[in-house]
């Protein structure tokens, strides 16, 4: 009977074990992919917190560290004796003298000693925790010893970049461009999508195909004529070329909102009409309250795009450094600090903080907005 019971339960246990292994393997795979994806950001943050010396250090520690040193803090100078080449020698430690701390192998253990007398063949150290013990001789090449590091993040890199980049002013310029354009593109795209999803328009299908086809139209195709137009009307050197075009809808946003609107039952429109609501009232009272996730998604798409846009502001605001957004300012700043990667990474992190915070705060609504509901008739 016992054998029969074991045989009957073994398939269940085997299935549970298989599911457990698959679940653990999937978790490890996803964790590994996430680690690979986030590793550049970790390197960016680590570099931004380093100082110039540690970046050029031959050992190149990955974390923001700095070599640890020993500062003699005695009240009076102290003279230590040692023998070198059979002759007595002396070295004086004065208050405030600084010595590098190296990792020394002695008596089978790693010791952290301060290098006082570097010599070929035999060098002399002191134990920072027991200076009174005097000098300690060590045979070997001291240059082969590894320094002892301590965690030393350089938060001042961000403060320096904040001041030199004039970050508040550049951020305000970017917000003016991004937020104003966001309002324009959401309003205009909503009106166009509402018309294409709810009203009879002759040739609507053809218009929709043409509108959708502009998504694949490269911006370089229209660059010269639009620049010539904005130059002729005197908009170059202002925010207007970066804002006004977004008040004429965006093909991608129109397509996204139209598909979302079509998923809202038309019976709700008809009920609103029976209550005396016109098209505008139906839009504001019936359609928009149910389309908030899609509107948020469109707004986030535009905000992130406008925040990262570099080429358009560079073209239209080339002679106006006081109006340039953060993307152009960071690029020009990086050209100044080409050989200081810690400053370049610090400005890059500062520039991406706000979009990341907004995305994480709105990610639930955003993810729901890009999932189009079941399309109706």
Query: Is position 62 within any domain?
Result: no
Locate 207 and state its tokens. 């218009």
CA pseudo-torsion sign 248, 205, 215, 260: positive
3-class DSSP state of 372: coil
**117-169 pLDDT tens trace:** 898 888 999 998 888 888 888 888 888 888 888 888 999 999 999 999 899 99
Query: Is position 193 within any domain?
Result: yes
Q: Do 78 and 43 belong together in one domain? A: no
Query: Confidence class of residue 233 from pLDDT cuts 50, 70 and 90?
Result: very high
Q: Do 90 and 217 belong together in one domain? A: no
Q: What percent of the chain has pLDDT over 70?
A: 92
The pLDDT, as a whole number, for residue 371 is 57
Q: Do 44 and 73 belong together in one domain? A: no
Q: Do 138 and 169 belong together in one domain? A: no
Locate 174 and state its tokens. 């970017």
**Number of structural domains the chain divides into:** 3
293 φψ region: left (φ > 0), alpha (ψ -120 to 50), beta (else): alpha
Query: Is position 339 within any domain?
Result: yes
Query: Is position 53 within any domain?
Result: no
Query: Is position 153 within any domain?
Result: no
Q: Do 90 and 124 belong together in one domain? A: yes
CA pseudo-torsion sign 217, 223, 227, 228: negative
Contacts 24+ apart (CB under 8 A), 224-228: 227/315, 227/316
Q: Do 309 and 179 belong together in one domain? A: yes
Q: Do 302 and 169 belong together in one domain? A: yes
What is the pTM for the complete model shown? Answer: 0.77
Among 296, 311, 308, CA closest to 365 = 296
Q: Do 254 and 326 belong together in one domain? A: yes
SS3 letters for 20-53?
HHHHHHHHHHHHHHHHHHHHHHHHHHHHHCCCHH
Locate 173 and state its tokens. 């310029």
Among 183, 198, 181, 377, CA closest to 287 = 198
Q: Do 125 and 198 belong together in one domain? A: no
The Cα 59–Cα 82 span in angstroms is: 31
Range of the domain at 29: 2-48
Query: Confidence class of residue 377 from pLDDT cuts 50, 70 and 90?
Result: very low
The pLDDT, as a whole number, for residue 177 is 96
The Cα 194–Cα 57 span in angstroms is: 61
The pLDDT, as a whole number, for residue 369 is 54
Domain boundary among 120, 147, 174: 147
Q: Do 192 and 140 belong together in one domain? A: no
Eight-state DSSP code of residue 321: G
Q: Do 185 and 313 belong together in one domain? A: yes
Q: Which CATH number is 349's domain given?
A: 1.10.3720.10
CB count within 10 Å of CB 125 equals 25
The pLDDT, as a whole number, for residue 13 is 52
Query: Is position 280 within any domain?
Result: yes
């Amino acid at each position: 009977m016992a054998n029969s019971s074991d045989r009957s339960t073994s398939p269940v246990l085997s299935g549970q074990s298989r599911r457990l292994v698959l679940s653990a393997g999937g978790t490890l795979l996803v964790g590994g992919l996430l680690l690979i994806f986030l590793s550049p950001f970790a390197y960016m943050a680590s570099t931004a917190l380093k100082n110039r010396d540690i970046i050029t250090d031959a050992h190149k520690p990955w974390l923001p560290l700095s070599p640890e040193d020993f500062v003699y803090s005695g009240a009076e100078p102290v003279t230590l004796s040692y023998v070198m080449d059979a002759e007595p020698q002396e070295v004086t430690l004065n208050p405030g003298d600084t010595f590098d701390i190296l990792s020394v192998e002695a008596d089978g253990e790693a010791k952290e000693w301060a290098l006082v007398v570097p010599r070929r063949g035999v060098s002399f150290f002191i134990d920072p925790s027991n200076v009174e013990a005097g000098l300690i001789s060590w045979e070997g090449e001291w240059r082969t010893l590894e320094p002892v590091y301590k965690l030393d993040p350089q938060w001042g890199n961000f403060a320096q970049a904040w001041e030199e980049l004039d970050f508040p002013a550049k951020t305000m310029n970017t917000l003016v461009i991004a937020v104003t354009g966001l309002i324009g593109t959401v309003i205009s795209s909503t009106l166009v999508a509402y018309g294409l999803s709810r009203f009879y328009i002759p040739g609507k299908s053809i218009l929709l195909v043409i509108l959708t086809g502009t998504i694949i139209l490269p911006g370089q195709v229209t660059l010269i004529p639009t620049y010539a137009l904005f130059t002729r009307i005197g908009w170059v050197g202002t925010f207007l070329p970066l804002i006004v075009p977004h008040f004429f809808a965006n093909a991608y946003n129109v397509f996204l909102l139209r598909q979302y609107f079509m998923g809202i039952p038309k019976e709700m429109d008809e009920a609103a009409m029976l209550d005396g609501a016109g098209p505008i009232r139906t839009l504001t009272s019936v359609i928009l309250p149910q389309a908030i996730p899609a509107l948020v998604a469109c707004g986030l798409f535009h905000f992130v795009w406008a925040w990262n846009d570099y080429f358009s502001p560079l073209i239209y605001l080339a002679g106006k450094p006081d109006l340039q957004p953060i993307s152009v300012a960071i690029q020009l700043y990086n050209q100044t600090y080409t050989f200081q990667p810690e400053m370049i990474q610090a400005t890059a992190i500062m520039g991406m903080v706000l979009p990341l915070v907004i995305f994480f705060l709105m990610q639930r609504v955003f993810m729901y907005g890009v999932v189009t509901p079941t399309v109706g008739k």
